[in-house]
């Protein structure tokens, strides 16, 4: 009887039996989970979810803080009284949670631009109209007791202007003093703005000669970040410090948090989700500490216990219902598909027996547990030799095609890292080399330098002689620079008329000599399609072990290049801390 089952049990019977066994097992597992382990498993899932939410929100807050520091650093480099209005407005447009940007100067003057749409109470505070979009406040150095208040529309057209008395002294403000006392950007503790009903922070940095630029960030940005991660109405998030000061929350209901803070002062045990009763209702509470140097260093998620658990119980019921419905739907489909698979097998066996041209008596059948597979294996064993011969032919074809494909892939890889115009490396390859060299130098305490080169007045070449001549100039300059560098150096087009040279094992003096040689080589070169002489400006920066990331050395080289261009062009400037 067993031998009969082993050789005669059909594929159709095997498929249907396996289907019923799996369906019965899954229904049993889901049923046990629902009636015995639902709440326990649900709480574990909530704990994992809340861990993920707090981590994601913490990371988002940290990323926003890094972005704000990058913004204040950028503003400190670009600050120029003549263009402050356009610059500040553009930054405020791209950062809707920045309330205002302002700069205080050593001479006592002050300049501020405020986004009137940043908070609903701003327009009423400044008596602004609906069409007013921006507010400019300015104090002149020769008239420090007066301030000019200008309301502007969205296109920066002036709608109204007024002059009023003021006793505001920028140099006496805490943000000004703190920024002068630090060599890097500073961030204040949270405080309440006097113009609007909102908490916020100030980022500030010194620039120039004892001048300070600052921006105010509304704490309402936290609600925006939280909303991106949480959509459930029964969950709330609070950002608070050790003293229980809530900087921001997803909604304005602080009663739950205040009740919690009366009972709990040590938040460490809430790193794992805990169930606690507040105001006669149970909550699941998860609290994580944000990586920050300030006191407002906790983020807490409060979720109503019953609604949270019910959500998972409802999912379990839904899962059983859907699974049962799916089982009923799939059963006839399984039968149809089994027929589609099995019937062609019998036909295939008949066709294979017709087309075979070898003696089957010399072959050994491979035994299997199903009748259909036994029949199919018998037919295939009789075709094995001819298939093997044909397979060898196919493998040869595949090998040839593989070689051709590898050649094409190599060509595509080269194109992906090459600048089309100059045939130099592009930004992608330069970033890769820069990261590798930076990590190598940091690990082995080695020197390396970068040179950033900019063609002086290339725009005039394009404007006066056409872009084709400008392209010729770019190509010839790239060839000149390539002829000056070592084989170990990496040259690429950084963008536009800028080139970047990465020089391994090169100190500042060596890089400066190389940059000077390039400067002279370009200066004496006679261009094929451009009749005049051209010059280049070069900025040099060298790696030191206090640098944190590869972008730092690029920033220093860029500052040196800016100094070279700003001080007359056609020269080499090596970065120093005075730039």
Indicate which residues carry an active-site annotation: 497
**151's tokens:** 């309301």
CA–CA separation, 150 and 138 (whole Å): 9
Nearest to 144 by CA among 122, 162, 168, 120: 168
Report whether 140 contacts 147 (CB < 8 A).
no
Decide: 211 and 205 in contact? Cβ < 8 Å: no
Q: Is the dihedral of CA 254, 260, 261, 265 positive or negative?
A: negative
The SS3 of residue 342 is helix
State how far the Cα of 138 lies from the Cα of 152, in Å rounded to an integer: 14
- HSE toward the beta carbon, residue 389, CA cutoff 13 A: 3
Report how far apart, in Å, the C-alpha atoms of 143 and of each of 108, 137, 166, 397 are: 9, 14, 10, 87
Query: What Rg value do the Cα atoms of the chain yield, rounded?
Result: 36
| Helix H or strand E encompassing 187 | strand 186-187
Distance CA 162, CA 65 (A): 35
Cβ partners under 8 Å of residue 177, min gap 6: 171
Q: Which tokens is 167 given?
A: 């006793």
**Phi and psi at residue 107, to the nearest 5°:** -80, 5
Contacts of 447 (CB under 8 A, 6+ apart): 441, 505, 506, 507, 542, 543
| Residues 240/257, Cβ–Cβ less than 8 Å | yes
Question: 112-116 long-range contacts, Cβ below 8 Å, gap at least 24?
Answer: 112/136, 112/137, 112/138, 113/84, 113/85, 113/88, 113/89
Q: Could you give the count of Cα atoms lying within 13 Å of 531 in the half-sphere of its Cβ?
A: 3
Q: Which of 233, 235, 256, 234 is nearest to 244 (CA)?
A: 256
**Residue indicated by tokens 């749409």:** 117
Closest CA to 563 of 534, 539, 535, 528: 539
CA distance 73 to 392: 65
Cα(62)–Cα(50) distance, integer angstroms = 18
């Amino acid at each position: 009887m067993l031998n009969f089952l082993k050789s005669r049990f059909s594929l159709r019977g095997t498929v249907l039996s396996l289907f019923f066994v799996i369906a019965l097992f899954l229904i049993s597992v889901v049923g046990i989970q629902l009636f015995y382990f639902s709440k326990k498993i649900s709480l574990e899932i909530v704990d994992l979810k809340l861990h993920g939410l707090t981590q994601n929100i913490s990371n988002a807050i940290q990323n926003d803080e890094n972005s704000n520091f990058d913004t204040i650093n950028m503003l400190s480099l670009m600050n120029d009284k003549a263009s402050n209005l356009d610059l500040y407005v553009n930054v405020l447009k791209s950062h809707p949670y920045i309330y205002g940007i302002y700069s205080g100067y050593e001479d006592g003057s002050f300049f501020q631009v405020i986004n009137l749409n940043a908070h609903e109470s701003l327009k009423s505070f400044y008596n602004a109209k609906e069409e007013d979009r921006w507010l400019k406040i300015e104090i002149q150095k020769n008239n420090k007791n007066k301030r000019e208040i200008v309301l502007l529309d969205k296109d920066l057209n002036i709608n109204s202007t007024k002059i009023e008395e003021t006793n505001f002294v920028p140099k006496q403000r805490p943000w000004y003093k703190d920024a002068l006392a630090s060599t890097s950007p500073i961030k204040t503790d949270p405080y309440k703005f006097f113009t609007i009903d909102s908490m916020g922070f100030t980022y500030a940095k010194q620039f120039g000669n004892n001048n300070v630029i600052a921006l105010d960030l509304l704490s309402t940005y936290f609600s925006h970040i939280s909303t991106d991660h949480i959509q459930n109405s029964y969950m709330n998030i609070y950002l608070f410090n050790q003293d229980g000061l809530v900087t921001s929350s997803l909604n304005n209901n602080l009663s739950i948090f205040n009740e919690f803070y009366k009972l709990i002062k040590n938040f460490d045990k809430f790193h794992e989700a805990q169930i606690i009763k507040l105001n006669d209702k149970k909550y699941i509470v998860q609290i994580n500490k944000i990586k920050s140097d300030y006191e407002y260093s906790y983020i807490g998620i409060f979720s109503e216990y019953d609604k949270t658990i019910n959500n998972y119980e409802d999912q379990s019921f839904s899962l059983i219902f859907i699974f049962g419905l799916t089982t009923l739907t799939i059963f006839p489909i399984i039968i149809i598909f089994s027929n589609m698979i099995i019937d062609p097998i019998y036909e295939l066996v008949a066709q294979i027996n017709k087309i075979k041209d070898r003696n089957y008596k010399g072959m050994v059948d491979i035994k299997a547990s199903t009748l259909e597979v036994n029949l199919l294996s018998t037919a295939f064993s009789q075709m094995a030799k001819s298939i093997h011969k044909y397979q060898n032919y196919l493998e040869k074809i595949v090998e040839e095609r593989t070689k051709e494909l590898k050649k094409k892939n190599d060509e595509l890889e080269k194109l992906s890292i090459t600048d089309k115009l100059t045939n130099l490396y592009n930004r992608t390859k330069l970033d890769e080399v820069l990261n590798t060299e930076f990590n190598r130098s940091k690990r082995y305490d080695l020197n390396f330098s970068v040179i950033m080169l900019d063609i002086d007045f290339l725009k005039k070449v394009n404007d006066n002689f056409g872009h084709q001549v400008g392209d010729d100039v770019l190509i010839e300059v790239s060839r000149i620079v390539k002829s000056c560098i070592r084989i170990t150096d990496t040259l690429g087009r950084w963008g536009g008329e800028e080139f970047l040279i990465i020089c391994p094992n090169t100190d500042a003096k060596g890089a400066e000599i190389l940059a000077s040689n390039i400067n002279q080589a370009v200066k004496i070169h006679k261009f094929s399609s451009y009749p005049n002489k051209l010059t280049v400006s070069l900025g040099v920066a060298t790696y030191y072990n206090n640098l944190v990331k590869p972008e730092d050395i690029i920033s220093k080289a860029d500052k040196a290049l800016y100094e070279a261009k700003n001080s007359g062009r056609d020269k080499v400037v090596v970065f120093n801390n005075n730039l």
